[in-house]
Amino acid sequence: MNPPSVAAACRLVRKVYGRGETAAVALDGVDVALRSGEMVALTGPSGSGKSTLLHLLGAMDVPDAGEVEVAGRILGALDDEDASAFRNRHVGFVFQFFHLIESLTAVENVALPARLLGLAEPDANARALDLLRRVGVAQLSERFPDQLSGGQRQRVAVARALVNDPVLVLADEPTGNLDHAAGGEVLELLATLGKERDVAILVATHDPLVTRRADREIRLLDGKVVAPS
Amino acid sequence: MSDARADASPAGRRRAGRARTRLVLGVLLADARRHRLVFLTTLLGVAVGIAVVVAIRLSSQAALESFRGTFVSLTGRATHQLTAIEPMDPARLLELRRAPGVLAVDPVVAATLVVPAASPEAEREAAHRIRPVLSDARGPRALRLVGIDPFQAGPFLELDAEALGEAADGRLFERMMCEPGLVAADRSTLASLGLPDGGDLHVEGPHGPLVLHAVAIDEPRLAAGNPPFLLADIATAQDALGLGDRVLRYDLVLDGDGSDLPLRKGERLDRPERRGERADTMTEAFRTNLQCLGFLAVLVGAFLAFNMAQFAVTRRRTLLGRLRCLGCPGRDLVRGVLAEAALLGVAGGVLGVAGGALLARGMVADVALTVSTLYGPTDGVPVPHLDAVTAAAAIGVGVLATVAASVLPARAAGRVAPIAVAQGASRDGPAPAWLPLLLLALGVLSLVPSGSAAILPAISVLCVLLATATAMPRLLGFVVRHLPRGPVTSLAAGRIERTLGRTGAAAGALVMPLAMTVAIVVMVDSFRAEVSTWTDAVLGADVYAKPLHLELAPETAALSPELVAEFEALPEVLAVDRLRLWEDPRRAPFLVAGARLEMIKRRGSLRVLEGPPLDVIVPRLLDGEALVSEPLANRRGLHPGDTLVLPGRDGDAPVTVAAVFQDFSFDRGYVLLSEDEFVRRLGEIPVRSAALLLREGEDPAALADALAARHPDVEFTTVARLRDEVMAAFHDTFAITWVLAGISTALALVGIVTALLCLHLERRHELGVLRALGARLSVVLRMLAVEAAVIMGTAALAALPAGLALAWILVAVVNTRSFGWSFPMAVDPQALLLLSAMALGASLVAVAVPWTLVRRTPPARLLETRR
């Protein structure tokens, strides 16, 4: 068995918002690596830099210093067009507020990244249905988001994050808007599917349940990685 | 603490309710401050709508007052005026003075004189316009000479006693009587003519140039008339106008209604203010049409306000839900939202009034041009004045529009459940399906009564517009449900479908001016085509001659008998048709013309709409029957064989209608008699214009130039140039229409862009999600483009049939009832091209703004907006 490869890494990353007196250091020399198949809890108080780190790893922002590498690509060098294509192909997102497109059905939501990738509708839908089945909501595939419960919506969001077989899934408080049971189920799904598909999962969270279920924890404080508490 | 809860009496509950409403209003206003862009855009929409109405009212008021000014002369305190077709016997003065019930009599001689242009070039330039009415400092100017009898005029004049005491060394009346040619004018009039006090004033009278001696008086009321007044002794005026000792009218102060005053044959007794009323009646259709176009802008503004109110309620669902959680009853939320709308209306109204006053100054020239082209001369560009009534009414309209537009959204606000705190923006639905159908039915029903000139057809137009606008959400829903499904179209369709109420309202705001533009283009094109055919048919002569200042001084300008005789003697000339015109709105609301009928006899220059062939008509005209123009026939329900009462110097007498003919030159309508019949009825009224029919092979342009060189005080026009002038006048008639349609469309464009921008701001987290999922900017651009194309395309598609229906109302109903004209409707592809161009332009703008915002915003920022 091959040792797990590094799916994503940040090397001495620094990110500052604002200038002069109003400058706020969001990340300061962050050095982390995520291996394929592992689920990592990213913890820290509000304002510690969790969201910024997710945005950098998701190619939605660029660092002021240091390097962000995902799936063997240095992200800082990507222009908007390439960054979009990269996100679509290699990164999946799960958000606290689900962020499903309210005008699309569950299956259409899940198929959307695949269609953006260029898959034909039947293929994309087949892939989406397969994943919906995997996350346990296939019977709700034709429902719109506002016809689903919070837990169901988050399952759809997890399916959407995985539809293009990414190397990295970034989850921002995925259980933050769910009850304890639903949160636990979604977490379990993420962990299981991540292992199955060899996907690195980084979960920004305040939820101790996530921290306990994760393979390891990265703790941020004032933009720096500190030892887990 | 004496809180409201403790006071359970009805008054106490009311007080508590008011306090809560104020509280809600405060919270809503604080929210509006946070979303300044949206609030300011709504404010702008309302303000522009109001500004257009105010500008239309002020500019049309000023232009019509200016026109009215040429109608109403210095009547002072006269209760009645006695007039006749021809100048009146001076001996009537004594008879009238002795008549029962007559408290005072003043013989009056009033006529318009022309101050020639500063240069011959300016004179010619002005004369070449078919209606040289907006004279500038360089062009010819008109002055109203009023001759009074200083011994009799005392009870009539309302001149300032102090000003009279100071003018002409305190001897104004004395000098006026003793110095022939002395006239008095307000100091500002003399200044505008570049004359000093006591300077010589060179004018054109009916019998050639005159030199008057002008003294200044500080009496602004003399300058307020249009044209400005020159006050003279009656003998000076009689000399200037060549009247001998006859007078043009008697002003009377009567004790009673004058019914017992003995009148001579052909005389008529009128109340002076009725002259103004007649001017108002004449221009009623114009004012109504203009106001309708103005209200189109308010409608567009109200739709924007509706859109914004709906958007605000949806955007504030969480805020409203929190207020509900905190115990605020739904009805207080309704009141709060309506109070905010009222404040918006007041602010928009105040801004609109200020903007409208400014806009009126820019528009007044166009309005005056249209008024003068339609109805007759106005002198100079009138200055609009803002009055308190207009300002208050405009603010009232603003409040009414915004409050009415906010009723439905406010009710929706009142129904927001406290649980909305946990929910985001929600779906909003279209207006009830019965609303457009009801409006359409109302529109059709408004056309049924045939009596109303302008109001009911105008209501019909507004109903059709509103029906189309309120149907837009459902039409949009239908279109998006039938879009081919792809990832991009699905997203775009979904975004529209979830906000059908708001998107539909924005599209409704756009569809109204689009439809109106189609209607106006089709109507004007149809009209233009018919007028062009008509001019080809009726301009049967080769050269036309008229006095240079005919439009400025129509009552005194004439071609001398010697000049007409000279035309007849020219070797190139086959025949001369000469036209005599009689016009006195006090006696008849139409014109009476007398002609030799040479053009009809020799060239068949008449389009008969109803009646026998020309070879039958001509002998009947020579036997004393009359031709009646279509507008008059429509207004009076006249057909061949009917009789019409015509005024005459010997009193009113009926005339038989021989035929109805097509005419677009006077919407008041006119009656055409043979010259002999005209003179028999109305006397030797001077020849107003002449039409020269040349022999085969003669060059009209060469003859016109040769005659112009010999007679600088007469304007000679070839038929080709006259045709161009008619078409130019036609264009002038619609000058203001285009301005207003343009403003409404621009307003709607602002609205649609704002609406799309609001939708974008509301839902941009969706774009953030898309970007997070890897959608390229090009995908976002395509999605925005599809959204805009669907909205604009649907609006354009709906605007086309609606515009054609409106065009039919304008052509077949409004024109026939308001102006008496009828012409077939012709649809020019130009209308479709214009519509497509407007929709395309709107789409480009609608895409460009949100696209620019998305392009400049990093995906991470877009995602954050949901929280």
- The answer on pLDDT for B373 being more than 50 is yes
- B interface with A, Cβ–Cβ < 8 A, is 485-487, 490-491, 493-495, 497-498, 765-766, 768-779, 858-860, 863, 866-867
CB B236 within 8 A of CB B173: no
Q: How far apart are CA B761 and CA B314, in angstroms?
A: 12
CB A218 within 8 A of CB A41: yes
Does the beta-carbon distance from A113 to B774 stay under 8 Å? yes
**Predicted confidence (pLDDT) per residue in B183-207, tens digit:** 888 888 888 788 888 888 888 777 7
Q: How far apart are CA B199 and CA B348, in angstroms?
A: 51
Helical (H) or strand (E) element with B690: strand B687-694
Q: What is the CA radius of gyration of chain B?
A: 33
Q: How far apart are CA A1 and CA A36, in angstroms?
A: 13
Q: How far apart are CA A199 and CA A166, in angstroms?
A: 7
CB B800 within 8 A of CB B832: yes
Q: How far apart are CA B460 and CA B443, in angstroms?
A: 4
**Does residue B246 come out as left (phi exceeding 0), alpha (psi in the -120 to 50 range) or beta?**
beta
CA distances, B172 to each of A228, B179, B196, B230 (Å): 108, 10, 16, 13
- The answer on pLDDT for B779 being more than 50 is yes
CATH architecture assignment, domain A6-226: 3-Layer(aba) Sandwich (3.40)
Mean pLDDT value across chain A: 89
A128 touches B: beta carbon within 8 Å:
no
Q: Give the position of tokens 């102090």.
A: B162
Instruction: Tell me whether strands A216-221 and A39-43 are parallel, antiparallel or unpaired.
Output: parallel
Q: Which of A55, A80, A121 sits opposite B860 (nearest CB)?
A: A55
- The answer on pLDDT for B425 being more than 60 is no
- pLDDT above 70 as % of chain A: 97
Contacts of B13 (CB under 8 A, 6+ apart): B4, B7
Does the beta-carbon distance from B774 to A86 stay under 8 Å? yes
With cut-offs at 50, 70 and 90, classify the pLDDT of residue B93.
confident
Mean pLDDT value across chain B: 77
Q: What is the CA radius of gyration of chain A?
A: 17
Q: Which of A211-225, B35-49, B68-82, B449-463 has the lowest mean pLDDT?
A: B68-82
Q: Give the position of tokens 């003697």.
A: B569
CB B425 within 8 A of CB B315: yes
Q: How far apart are CA B593 and CA B689, in angstroms?
A: 11
What DSSP designation does B799 have? Answer: H
Cα nearest neighbour of B499 on chain A: A103
Tokens encoding B511: 């569809």
Neighbours of A226 (CB within 10 A): 13
Neighbours of B165 (CB within 10 A): 11
Residue type, B95: E
Q: Give the position of tokens 């002259």.
A: B275
- H helices of B283-315, where? 284-315
Q: Distance, in angstroms, between B334 CA and closest chain A CA?
A: 26
Of B703, B729, B731, B732, nearest in space to B717 by CA: B703
Widest distance between CA atoms in chain B? 108
Tokens encoding B838: 């407007």
Q: Which of A104-108, B40-44, B481-485 has the lowest mean pLDDT?
A: B40-44
Q: How far apart are CA B85 and CA B648, in angstroms?
A: 7
**Which segments within B218-315 are labelled E, that is strand?**
229-233, 247-254, 267-270
CB A151 within 8 A of CB A179: yes
CB B491 within 8 A of CB B783: yes
Q: Which of A100, A101, A113 sits opposite B491 (nearest CB)?
A: A101
| Long-range residue pairs from B165-172, CB within 8 A, at least 24 positions apart, any chain | B166/B217, B166/B218, B167/B215, B167/B216, B167/B217, B167/B218, B167/B219, B168/B215, B168/B217, B172/B215, B172/B217
**pLDDT at residue B130, rounded to an integer:** 41
Does the beta-carbon distance from A86 to B493 stay under 8 Å? no
Q: Which of B66-70, B306-310, B359-363, B621-625 has the lowest mean pLDDT?
A: B66-70
Q: Distance, in angstroms, between A212 CA and closest chain B CA?
A: 28
Of A71, A39, A48, A88, nearest in space to A224 by CA: A48
Contacts of B15 (CB under 8 A, 6+ apart): B4, B7
Q: How far apart are CA B671 and CA B664, in angstroms?
A: 13
- The answer on pLDDT for B557 being more than 90 is no
**pLDDT at residue A63, rounded to an integer:** 92
Q: Residue range B12-27: average pLDDT?
A: 75
Residue type, B519: A
What DSSP designation does B428 have? Answer: B
Q: Which of B231-235, B265-269, B584-588 has the lowest mean pLDDT?
A: B584-588
Tokens encoding A95: 């958000």
Instruction: Tell me whether strands A91-94 and A168-172 are parallel, antiparallel or unpaired.
Output: parallel
CB B230 within 8 A of CB B214: yes
> What's the first-to-final CA gap in chain A, in angstroms?
33
Residues of B in contact with A80 (CB under 8 A): 776-777
A93 touches B: beta carbon within 8 Å:
yes
Of B753, B775, B752, B756, nearest in space to B863 by CA: B775
Of B468, B472, B477, nearest in space to B498 by CA: B477
Residues of A in contact with B856 (CB under 8 A): none
Q: How far apart are CA B809 and CA B800, in angstroms?
A: 14
Q: Residue range B273-277: average pLDDT?
A: 50
β-bridge partners, B146: B110, B231
The domain ranges of chain B are: 20-73+275-422, 80-270, 484-539+722-867, 543-697
Question: Chains A and B: how many Cβ contacts under 8 Å?
Answer: 85
Q: Which of A83-97, A164-178, B439-453 has the lowest mean pLDDT?
A: B439-453
- The answer on pLDDT for B3 being more than 50 is no
Neighbours of B642 (CB within 10 A): 15
Q: Which of A61, A88, A100 sits opposite B774 (nearest CB)?
A: A88
CB A217 within 8 A of CB A228: yes
- H helices of B35-160, where? 36-71, 92-98, 120-128
Q: Which of B21-35, B601-615, B799-813 has the lowest mean pLDDT?
A: B21-35
Contacts of B181 (CB under 8 A, 6+ apart): B210, B211, B212, B213, B236, B239, B240
CB B627 within 8 A of CB B621: yes
**pLDDT at residue B281, rounded to an integer:** 52
Q: Distance, in angstroms, between B664 CA and closest chain A CA?
A: 57
The domain ranges of chain A are: 6-226
Residues of B in contact with A121 (CB under 8 A): 485-486
CA distances, B754 to each of B235, B475, B577, B578 (Å): 68, 21, 61, 61
Helices (H) and strands (E) in chain A, counts: 7, 10
A173 touches B: beta carbon within 8 Å:
no
Residues of A in contact with B484 (CB under 8 A): none
Q: Which of A183-192, A206-215, B261-270, B774-783 has the lowest mean pLDDT?
A: B261-270
Neighbours of B187 (CB within 10 A): 19
Q: Distance, in angstroms, between A21 CA and closest chain B CA?
A: 22
**pLDDT at residue B136, rounded to an integer:** 47
- The answer on pLDDT for A66 being more than 90 is yes
CB B552 within 8 A of CB B132: yes
Q: How far apart are CA B796 and CA B837, in angstroms?
A: 10
Q: Which of B491, B858, B866 sits opposite A97 (nearest CB)?
A: B866
Q: Residue range B241-263: average pLDDT?
A: 81
- Sign of the alpha-carbon dihedral angle for B178, B181, B184, B187: negative
